[in-house]
């Protein structure tokens, strides 16, 4: 079997496993409930600050400690703006320039606060493969593999994220119709499969650096993220 055919087979198997996981979780997902609401003032390194309400849940299907962060006020007749942001220790906390996660988080908080809605902070480090595996994948990327091929080379899915818990959170919050702040078509597709109406998918800005250009390019060419390639001239 050729290397290209082998890679295509691995990708198909990875997607099939994800679909099996989705089907199992959809059939078993209980109704979630709010556990705690607490007011938290947020402040970012560039000086931007905003008041937020952090919401925790009970009964999420994957048992993880996901957070909903309520920001701003939704005007009458408007839909909430929602960002599903996967946890990224390296980007969100340490400012790694190898991804665009930290800048996307900062952008999303301000845009949602202006419009009114929720940022769902999901415990899905490394597209769901975990921190250690993500760093192992970084090492393979340094040898020339792209971000998806590196995951597959480790015997892991190219993207292991499942958004059933996110759909539960939105349902619990009464946000069953939303506008989604995301470049990733899989996020809106998964939410739609789980009964959340995504009226519009709104792209984030392009946060390119000389370190993450290939990472962003792979997102566009392989998983059809809505990132303007013309902006990747770093």
Percent of the chain topping pLDDT 70:
82
Q: State the Cα–Cα distance between residues 56 and 138, nearest whole angstrom.
A: 31
**Does the pLDDT at position 185 exceed 90?**
no
State the pLDDT at residue 16: 53
State the pLDDT at residue 25: 46
> What does the mean pLDDT of the chain come to?
86
Strand 81-86, strand 117-122: pairing? parallel
What is the token pair recorded at 160?
Answer: 């292991």
The model's confidence at residue 199, banded by pLDDT at 50, 70 and 90, is very high
Fold of 3-176: Rossmann fold (3.40.50)
The model's confidence at residue 223, banded by pLDDT at 50, 70 and 90, is low
The string over 170-193, giving b where at least 16 C-beta atoms fall within 10 Å of a residue's C-beta and e elsewhere, is bbbbebeebbbbbbbebbbebbee
Q: State the Cα–Cα distance between residues 21 and 27, nearest whole angstrom.
A: 10
**Does the pLDDT at position 193 exceed 80?**
yes
**Does the pLDDT at position 231 exceed 70?**
no
Q: State the Cα–Cα distance between residues 133 and 106, nearest whole angstrom.
A: 25
Q: State the Cα–Cα distance between residues 32 and 191, nearest whole angstrom.
A: 16
State the pLDDT at residue 27: 43
What is the token pair recorded at 199?
Answer: 């009226």
Identify the burial level of 36 via C-beta atoms within 10 angstroms of its C-beta, where 0-12 means exposed, 13-18 middle and 19 or more buried.
exposed
State the pLDDT at residue 96: 93
Per-residue pLDDT of 39-58, as tens digits, reads: 999 999 999 999 999 999 99
State the pLDDT at residue 222: 66
The model's confidence at residue 208, banded by pLDDT at 50, 70 and 90, is confident
- H helix intervals, 74-158: 101-115, 131-141, 147-153
The model's confidence at residue 229, banded by pLDDT at 50, 70 and 90, is low
What residues are labeled active site? 159, 161
State the pLDDT at residue 2: 47
State the pLDDT at residue 209: 84
**Does the pLDDT at position 63 exceed 70?**
yes
Reported pTM: 0.83
**Better-predicted residue by pLDDT, 37 or 205:** 37
Element (H, E) at 56: strand 49-58
Q: For the chain, what is the largest distance between any 2 Cα atoms, rounded to a whole number of angstroms?
A: 58
Report the pLDDT averaged over residues 190-208.
Answer: 90
The distance of Cα 112 from the centroid of its chain, to the nearest Å, equals: 15
Per-residue pLDDT of 1-40, as tens digits, reads: 444 444 454 555 555 555 555 554 444 457 899 999 999 9
């Amino acid at each position: 079997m050729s290397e290209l055919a082998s890679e295509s087979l691995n990708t198909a198997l990875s997607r099939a496993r994800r679909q099996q996981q989705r089907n199992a979780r959809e059939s078993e997902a209980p109704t979630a409930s709010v556990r705690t609401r607490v007011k938290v003032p947020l402040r970012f390194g560039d000086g931007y600050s905003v008041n937020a309400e952090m919401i925790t849940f009970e009964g999420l299907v994957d048992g993880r400690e996901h957070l909903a962060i309520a920001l701003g006020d939704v005007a009458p007749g408007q839909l909430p703006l929602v960002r599903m942001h996967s946890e990224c220790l390296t980007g969100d906390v340490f400012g790694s320039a190898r991804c665009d996660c930290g800048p996307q988080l900062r952008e999303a908080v301000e845009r949602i606060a202006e419009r009114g809605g929720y940022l769902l902070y999901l415990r899905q480090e490394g597209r769901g493969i975990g921190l250690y595996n993500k760093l192992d994948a970084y090492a393979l990327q340094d040898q020339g593999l792209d971000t998806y091929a590196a995951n597959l080379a480790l015997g892991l899915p190219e993207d292991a994220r499942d958004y059933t818990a996110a759909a539960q959170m939105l349902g619990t919050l009464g946000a069953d119709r939303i506008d989604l702040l995301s470049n990733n078509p899989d996020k809106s597709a998964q939410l739609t499969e789980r009964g959340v109406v995504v009226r519009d998918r709104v792209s984030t800005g392009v946060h390119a650096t000389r370190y993450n250009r290939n990472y962003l390019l792979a997102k566009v060419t392989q998983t059809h993220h809505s990132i303007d390639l013309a902006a990747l001239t770093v």
